[in-house]
Structure 1
Amino acid sequence: MDIKDRFEQIYKAYSKPMFLYALSFLISEEEAEDVIQEVFVNFWKDNTYQKIKNEVTKTYLFRSVKNNCLNRLKKKDVLRDRLDLLREDIVEEEMMNWNDELIQEVENEIANMPEQTREIIQAVFFRDLKYQEVADQLGVSINTVKTLLKHGMKYLRERFSGRGDLFLLMVLVK
């Protein structure tokens, strides 16, 4: 039997079972066909079919299919991981831009508030002062601080309520 006949015989005997084996890893028929083709191309190109004994041909081919499939799956995982990281970076960047814009809008709205209300909101939320500390600094009662803070927050809620940013607004301001 010449070389070509031996190769054809091996191909006819093992290509279908190898295809089914590849499908058990890959699911995609096209990809399984690609694997079988790659295995046989390498089998031919490297003259492996001439170098190995008949008894180990089947083992060699099926092991090659398995390794090829696993390598493809690893590449897919790496690509999927890279794609996930890229998506996360894009979303994070968009969120940062969105947060910056929202913070700027909140700051603009706070700047439009009456002076004492603005001072109280800035002291409580941006400088983390306690109500009593704010009251002492401004020379007003703690009840005045609470009331003006309540009015300021109500104003902000009204300004941003229709946009769905309210929860984020509260987190950012707090």
Structure 2
Amino acid sequence: MRPIDQEICSLLKVRKIGGMELLFREYYKPLVVWATTFLHDTQRAEDIVQDFFVKLWEKPYSALLPETLKSYLFTSIRNLALNQLDKIDPLRRACDVAYCDSPWNEYDNFEDEVFRSVEEELEKLTPRAQDVIRKIYLEGMKYKDVADKLGISVATVNSILVRALKKLRQQSDNNDKLAIYLFFLEKSLILEQ
């Protein structure tokens, strides 16, 4: 069980909006990717995930447990995506289910593998670069907050980040998984600014 899942469940049980914000930040992109594997349509996948989050907020699932949060989310999104396929084209769903009905564990294992690979590559960076990348991408801190915490300027944070990402990109030439992860990191960087 991840500490973030514990925090999400605790906040959602007392109906704190911070729980939804954490849930969104932690799971939105992976759930959209997961739904897209069934729908082959990113816009529909985003709609399904957003609708699911709204319904979860309006009528919370009372038995939400940190140990099962991830499986609940991925299973729910898979079922919603398959229901959407039924509405679009029942025959297509029959074909896609045979192709995509592998358990979400495959996604989970891939995510863990990618994360381990990224951690190995991060270890090759300077401690300062590691710290900046972890604070921005893994903890979701803003550049200004990182600068304040480390006692450096925002420009220095940006400079460290640019150099670190460049080095990671160079290291990723022989590592497709890291290249995929960096793609999503850079995409989230563009979206946040």
What TM-score do you get using the length of structure 2 for normalisation? 0.42
Greater helix percent: which structure?
1
What TM-score do you get using the length of structure 1 for normalisation? 0.47
| Larger gyration radius, structure 1 or structure 2 | 1
